[in-house]
Amino acid sequence: MTEKINELLRCVEEFEPRTAAEVEEFRIRMTGKKGELNALMEEFRTVAPELKREVGQQLNRLKTAATERIAALRERMADAADGQSAPQEDLTRPGSADELGSRHPISLVKNQIVEVFARLGYTVADGPEIEDDWHVFSALNFPPEHPARDMQDTFFVEKNPDVLLRTHTSSIQVRTMERQKPPIRVICPGRVFRNEAISYRAHCIFHQIEGLYIDEGVSFADMKQSLLCFAKEIFGEQAAIRMRPSYFPFTEPSAEVDVSCNLCGGKGCAVCKGTGWLEIMGCGMVDPNVLKANGIDPEKYSGFAFGMGIERIAMLKYGVKDLRLYFENDVRFLHQFEEAL
């Protein structure tokens, strides 16, 4: 019986079919119902008990070899059939060019803003997106009952002690004041999170850039001049700014900054809602309470802070009307900014 098994093993190894039909014929001969393997199984019953172990192993080896060989041959035949029916590659056709990516409009605008302030002597600071209550609210003079701390605005990771997603990049300014003594001149770009319904003009994730300048004798006039310089660099030499009184917990006095509408030249249009002005940022003189909370002597030092949404500046600069476009990453939208590189 061992002889027969060895003969069949050789047969399996040497079998070289030319067509799929030959493979099928071979399969029926070997593993079919009335095939060689089943015949051997039948014969195996008559093998003497002391030889059963050895012959059984040989039989198993043959069975595995036959099934594996047949499967491999079938695959080879199927591949060959595919190759014949597939159209021949046209080697004279020009190759497909690699597509170049472009910078996201948010990155473009962020880089431009950073570059303007870098020329004014600001350095870039960074901080974590997951923050604690102190760096986002308490150190910035938010009273305990301030609505911004409410669940409606803030994404909390944990309560008591509070761990949350930062709602503004001012937390980076607090971290900067912790490690650095005045003079401080930093610009803090980053992603922020607020629990808002997503629409064409609001999103739960957006980007801010905030700036902080602290030194001896810093005045409101310094702030106004710096921000005017910024507006002219971003919106063009003809840009003018105006300031309206406002309120933020961390600055006193505080102001909203408008830039003259560059679409209508100040005459009034749909984008500026007929006013000739577009709101671009908030700013103010750093509240003495904030300086005190961060270990800076408010008698000796003063400073100003400002903050703006990068999406908002990009919308005004490029005339984008729907905020959601920035997050959908539709290449038809993104391709339009290739030239801005």
Is 263 a binder of Zn ion (CB under 5 A)? yes
Q: For the window 208-247, what string marks contact with Zn ion as x by the rule CB under 5 A? A: ----------------------------------------
Please, which residue, 35 or 268, has the CB nearer to Zn ion? Answer: 268
Is 114 a binder of Zn ion (CB under 5 A)? no
Distance in angstroms (rounded) separating the CA atoms of residues 191 and 169: 8
Is 255 a binder of Zn ion (CB under 5 A)? no
Stretch that binds Zn ion, among 165-173, 202-210, 260-268, 303-311 (CB under 5 A): 260-268
Q: How far is the CB of 314 from Zn ion (least distance, A)?
A: 17
Please, which residue, 100 or 270, has the CB nearer to Zn ion? Answer: 270
Distance in angstroms (rounded) separating the CA atoms of residues 329 and 101: 12
CB 149: neighbour CB atoms within 10 A?
20
Strand 123-124 with 184-193, pairing: parallel
Q: How far is the CB of 272 from Zn ion (least distance, A)?
A: 3
Please, which residue, 267 or 335, has the CB nearer to Zn ion? Answer: 267
Contacts of 257 (CB under 8 A, 6+ apart): 227, 231, 241, 242, 243, 279, 280, 281, 282, 283, 306
- Binding positions for Zn ion, 267-296, rule CB under 5 A: 269, 272
Stretch that binds Zn ion, among 97-105, 127-135, 222-230, 257-265 (CB under 5 A): 257-265
One of 264, 293, 320, 325 touching Zn ion (CB under 5 A): 264
Max distance between CA atoms of the chain, in angstroms, equals 109
Q: Find the distance separating the first CA and the last CA of the chain, reported in whole Å.
A: 79
Q: How far is the CB of 261 from Zn ion (least distance, A)?
A: 3
Q: How far is the CB of 276 from Zn ion (least distance, A)?
A: 6
- For residue 59, the SS3 value is helix
For residue 67, what is the DSSP state?
H
Please, which residue, 228 or 263, has the CB nearer to Zn ion? Answer: 263
Q: In what order do the strands lie in the sheet with 130-132?
A: 130-132, 163-165, 156-158
User: Which of 31, 17, 43 is CA-nearest to residue 67?
Assistant: 31
Site size for Zn ion (CB under 5 A)? 5
Is 261 a binder of Zn ion (CB under 5 A)? yes
Beta bridge partners of 256: 244, 282
Q: How far is the CB of 241 from Zn ion (least distance, A)?
A: 15
Q: In degrees, to the nearest 5, what angle opens at C-alpha 23 toward C-alphas 20 and 25?
A: 110
Contact 215, 301 (CB under 8 A): yes
Is 40 a binder of Zn ion (CB under 5 A)? no
Please, which residue, 264 or 334, has the CB nearer to Zn ion? Answer: 264
Please, which residue, 266 or 298, has the CB nearer to Zn ion? Answer: 266
Q: How far is the CB of 316 from Zn ion (least distance, A)?
A: 10
Q: Which helix (H) or strand (E) holds 39?
A: helix 36-44
Q: How far is the CB of 235 from Zn ion (least distance, A)?
A: 12
Structure tokens given for 2:
């061992």
Q: Which residues bind Zn ion (CB under 5 A)?
A: 261, 263-264, 269, 272
